[in-house]
Chains A and B, each alone.
Chain A
Amino acid sequence: MPADRDQRSIDPLRRDFLRASRQVAGLSLLATQFPGLLAIAEAAAAAHAGGAPFLHLSPAEAAGLEAIAARIIPSDDTPGAREAGVIHFIDQALGDFMAESAGDLRAGLASLDALAAGAADGGSFAALPPAAQDELLRQVEATPFFELMIYLTVAGMFALPSYGGNRDYLGWALLGFSSSHAWTPPFGHYDALLAGVSPPAAADGSGAAGHAPALGHGKAHGHD
C-alpha cells in the first residue's frame, strides 16, 4: 500500500462508511443490502461531484487509475474518461459492488508504477507522457488488471451519473444515446425513408448532455 494512503486523513464519517461497506460486502446477503448501500453512495456522489476528494482512493492512486482510464477513452476533440469523471465512479464502486476487486486494482497499479519507474524517464505511470503510457499499457494488455480497468472505464463512462461517473451525461452524448423516456417513430434514417418523412435529428456527439433526466432514468436506486 503506498505511503501516502496511510498519511491521508480519514474523517470519522468516512471511516464509518468504509467500515459499513466492508462489513456488508463480506456477507452473502450483499444483494439485499444494495439499496441502502447505494443510497449512501448517492449521497457520496453528490458530495464529490466536481473533483472533490476521494472516499477510497489516495490521491496518488486516483491519479494513476485516472491516467489509465484516460488512455482507454482518451480526451481529444470530444470529452473522454477524465472529463466524464470516471475516476469518481471507480472510487465509489470500490466501496460498494467492486470492493472485492480493490486489492487487485491496487496491485495492478503498483506493478504499472514499477514498470514506469524502470522506464527511461522514471517516476509514476501518471507522470509519463501519453505515448509512454500507451507503451506500458500494451505490456499489460492481456492481464486481468487491464480487463478490470476497461470494464471500470466503460462503466464509469456510461453508467448512470448517480454512480459517480458519466458526468453531465458526457458518456451518453459521445455515443449519441439520449436519456429520453419515450420515443416516437420514425426512429432512424431507414424507417423514416420508408415512411417518406424526415429522419430524426442525429444526436451523435451532442444533444444528450444537459438533458434533465426523464422519468425512469434519473431514479437509479432505492427500488425497495
Chain B
Amino acid sequence: MTEQPRFPHREAVDFVIIGSGSAGGILARELSVAGFDVVVLEQGKYRRTHEFTHDELAIAFNHEYVGGPQGGDPQTFRHDASDSAKVADFPPAYYARMVGGSSVHFSANFWRLRPVDFHERSLLGAIEGADLADWPFGYEELEPYYTRVDWEIGVSGAPGPFDAPRSRPYPLPPMPVKSSGVLLEKGARKLGLHPQVAPVAILSQPFNNRAACVHCGFCMGFGCEMGAKSSTLVTMIPQAEATGRCEIRPQSTVHRLETGADGRISEVLYYDAAGGEQAQRAKAVIVAANGAETPRLLLMSASARFPDGLANGSGYVGRNLMFNAHSVTHAWFDEPLHDYKSVQCSRMVHDFYESDPKRGFYGGGAIDARPFLSASPMLFALTAMPPDVPRWGAAYKRALAHNFTRNMVLAASATSLAVPSNNITLDPAVKDRFGRPALRVTYRDHADDLAMVGFLQDWAVGIAEAAGANKVWRNPIQPETIGAHLLGTCRMGDDADHSVVDRFHRSHEVPNLFICDGSSMVTSGRGQPTMTIMALAFRASQHIAEAARKGDI
C-alpha cells in the first residue's frame, strides 16, 4: 500500500478538491493519475468498509452519517422567502458526510440522462414560474463518460426499450429480480406498459477485485460492508491514493476560499479535526462539495471584490435548487415478498419519461418497485402503515407482524423544474459548531412537478392493483421538505450572465476555480442523478488536466 503523501500547507499544491463524494472522488483519482498533486479536503470522517453496520437507530434516526442539529450541524428550512426558516431535525439538504460522500449511503439506482434532458427548453419553450434552460452540450457529448462510469466503477443492468444509445454494454448482468420486481412487471404489463431492469451501481458479480453483493438489503442510507456498492470510497479513492500524489484529509471543514489581489484563489481556509484553523495554498481549487454545500461555501467566501459571494456576479450561486419530485404508493400482497432483502430496486417503468403536452403540465418520470423506507424494522413501523390501521395497540401490532414481509412500495421519481426562488442561502441567525452561517434551504416544488408525481401515483395505484395487491394506498403528495438530490445551484452554461461555470466547469469569473458536482446540472433529469454527476466529473477531469498541462489554471 502506498503511503499517503503529506503536502506542506504553505506551498501551493496543484489542486485542492473540496469534497470526496461522487464528483470529488473521481476528480481526485483522475487528476492524481494524470500526474498532479492533489489534496482532498473532506469534512466527514474516513470510515472504512468494515466499519459499516446495520444499526438502523444510529444511521436512520440519530444522523450518524448526515449531521444535524444534535451534532452541531443545523440547517434551516422554509418553503417561501416570506417565511422565517426554522432549524430542521432531519437535515433538509440530506447528504452523507464521509470520505466517498453520498455515494457511500445512496441506494445506487443508476440512470443515465436521455437526450431530451439536455435541450427541453428548446423543445418546449419557456415555462411559467421556471428558469428552464438547455445544457451547453447534448447527450452525445456525455455518452463516452457515462460509459467510463459503467466500466470504471461497476454497474449491473440490462438495456431497456426507451434507453438512450450506449457505446458499450453494461459491464455486469442485472441483479436478480425481487418479488417486488416480479409484481411490478406483472401489473405494468397488464396495463400495456414496458417494465425494465433497474440498473444499479452494485456488483452482481465480482469486479475489479471487489466482491459481489450478498443481498443483505441495507443499501439505502447505509454503507456497504461488502464494498459491493460502487461508491467512490471503494472505487476511485483507493486508486487516487495508490498514485502517491493524493492526500485525503478527512474531518477538514472548509469555511473560506481566499482570493488575492489578482482575483484568483490563493488559499483554502478550513478547520481541522481538532477545530484548529488551517490554510492550504493551491494553484487551482475544485469545489465538489454537493449542490448545497458548494454554493454555501461560495457565499461564505464573499469579499470586497466579490460582494455577493465568490464567482456570483450572475446571482446564480445557490439559485434554482432542484430535489427531484417524488410520490410514494404502498401495496400489501397475500404472500411474503421479503422486500427487505437485496438491493432496493430491481424493476422500473420508464414509459412516462418524456414530457407530454397532452397531460396539461410539464414533467417526466419513472415508477419503480422497492421497499423504500420499509426495508428496515423501525422505519417500517413508523412510516409504512396505512391510515386506517391504528397507530398503537393490538391492531397496530397485528398489522406490523403480518405485513412487514408482504409489503412493497411503488416509488415515483420525476423532474424538478428550476425555480429561481428555490435556493441555498446563508441563514442570517443560526450558526454551526464552527460559527459558520447555517445552510438555509428555501424550497417549494413547481406546481407541474407535483402534478407529475400525482400522475405517476395514479399509474402506480393501477399497477399495484393489476398485480393483485390486497391493499393499496397513497402517501399524500405534499411539497418536499427534504432533498437528497441537490442539483442546479451553480448552473453550467455559455452565458456568464445566467450561469456560474462554463461548459468545462470553470468559473466564469475566477480563473483558477472549478466547480463540479450536482450543482452543475442545468436540469434535474427524472431522478437518480448520481451517474450524471460521476460522468460530469470524468469529463471535467479530462478538460481540467488538459488546461493544467498547458499552464492554464
Interface window among B53-61, B350-358, B494-502:
B53-61
- Cα–Cα, bound, A154→B396 (Å): 11
A183-B393 contact in complex given A175-B380, A191-B177, C-beta closer than 8 Å: no
Interface residues of B in 49-72 (CB under 8 A from A): 51-58, 61-64, 67-68, 70-72
Q: B67 contacts which chain A residues (CB < 8 A)?
A: 31
Q: B404 contacts which chain A residues (CB < 8 A)?
A: 175-177
User: Closest approach, in angstroms, between the C-beta of A219 and any C-beta of chain B?
Assistant: 6
User: Closest approach, in angstroms, between the C-beta of B252 and any C-beta of chain A?
Assistant: 14
A4 CB within 8 Å of chain B = no
- A217's closest neighbor in chain B, by CB? B54
A163 CB within 8 Å of chain B = yes
Of the candidates A74, A78, A216, the one whose C-beta lies within 8 Å of that of B53 is: A216
Check B57–A163 contact: CB distance below 8 A.
Answer: yes
> How many residues of chain B are within 8 Å of chain A by beta carbon?
60
Interface window among A46-54, A106-114, A196-204:
A196-204
Check A182–B214 contact: CB distance below 8 A.
Answer: yes
Q: Mark B322-343, 1 if CB is under 8 A from A, else 0.
A: 0000000000010111111110
Of the candidates B72, B336, B377, the one whose C-beta lies within 8 Å of that of A202 is: B336
Of the candidates A74, A163, A189, the one whose C-beta lies within 8 Å of that of B337 is: A189
A73-B397 contact in complex given A97-B70, A155-B61, A204-B405, C-beta closer than 8 Å: yes
- B251's closest neighbor in chain A, by CB? A32
Q: A154 contacts which chain B residues (CB < 8 A)?
A: 378, 381-382
B47 CB within 8 Å of chain A = yes
Q: Is the contact region of chain A dominated by helix, strand, or loop, or is it mixed?
A: loop
- A204's closest neighbor in chain B, by CB? B405
Interface residues of B in 153-185 (CB under 8 A from A): 176-183
Check B71–A30 contact: CB distance below 8 A.
Answer: yes
Q: B437 contacts which chain A residues (CB < 8 A)?
A: none
B216 CB within 8 Å of chain A = yes
Q: A74 contacts which chain B residues (CB < 8 A)?
A: 393-394, 397
User: Closest approach, in angstroms, between the C-beta of A206 and any C-beta of chain B?
Assistant: 11
- Cα–Cα, bound, A172→B67 (Å): 28
A57 CB within 8 Å of chain B = no
Interface residues of A in 177-207 (CB under 8 A from B): 177, 180-194, 199-200, 202-205
Check B179–A189 contact: CB distance below 8 A.
Answer: yes
Check B433–A223 contact: CB distance below 8 A.
Answer: no
- Cα–Cα, bound, A58→B474 (Å): 43
Check B392–A137 contact: CB distance below 8 A.
Answer: yes
Check A159–B225 contact: CB distance below 8 A.
Answer: no
- B218's closest neighbor in chain A, by CB? A216
A80 CB within 8 Å of chain B = yes
- B73's closest neighbor in chain A, by CB? A31
- A182's closest neighbor in chain B, by CB? B214
- Cα–Cα, bound, A157→B400 (Å): 12
Check B45–A76 contact: CB distance below 8 A.
Answer: no
User: Closest approach, in angstroms, between the C-beta of B485 and any C-beta of chain A?
Assistant: 24
B391 CB within 8 Å of chain A = yes
Check A224–B45 contact: CB distance below 8 A.
Answer: yes
A72 CB within 8 Å of chain B = yes
- Cα–Cα, bound, A157→B401 (Å): 12
> How many residues of chain A are within 8 Å of chain B by beta carbon?
62
A150 CB within 8 Å of chain B = yes
- A25's closest neighbor in chain B, by CB? B70
- Cα–Cα, bound, A34→B97 (Å): 16
Check A187–B53 contact: CB distance below 8 A.
Answer: no
Check B57–A72 contact: CB distance below 8 A.
Answer: no
B483 CB within 8 Å of chain A = no
- Cα–Cα, bound, A155→B379 (Å): 9
A174 CB within 8 Å of chain B = yes
Check A188–B405 contact: CB distance below 8 A.
Answer: yes
- Cα–Cα, bound, A179→B73 (Å): 33
B518 CB within 8 Å of chain A = no
Determine which residue in A28, A141, A151 has the highest number of CB atoms from chain B within 10 A of its CB, and name it.
A28
Check B377–A183 contact: CB distance below 8 A.
Answer: no
Check A158–B177 contact: CB distance below 8 A.
Answer: no
A160 CB within 8 Å of chain B = yes
Residues of A within 8 A of B (CB): 28-32, 34, 71-74, 76, 78, 80, 97, 134, 137, 141, 150-151, 153-155, 157-160, 163, 171-172, 174-177, 180-194, 199-200, 202-205, 215-217, 219-221, 223-224
Residues of B within 8 A of A (CB): 45, 47, 51-58, 61-64, 67-68, 70-73, 176-183, 214-218, 225, 333, 335-342, 377-378, 380-382, 391-394, 396-397, 400-402, 404-405, 433
Interface CB pairs A-B, < 8 A, 15:
A31-B68, A31-B73, A34-B62, A80-B397, A154-B381, A155-B378, A159-B56, A174-B401, A175-B400, A176-B336, A185-B215, A187-B178, A188-B336, A221-B55, A224-B45
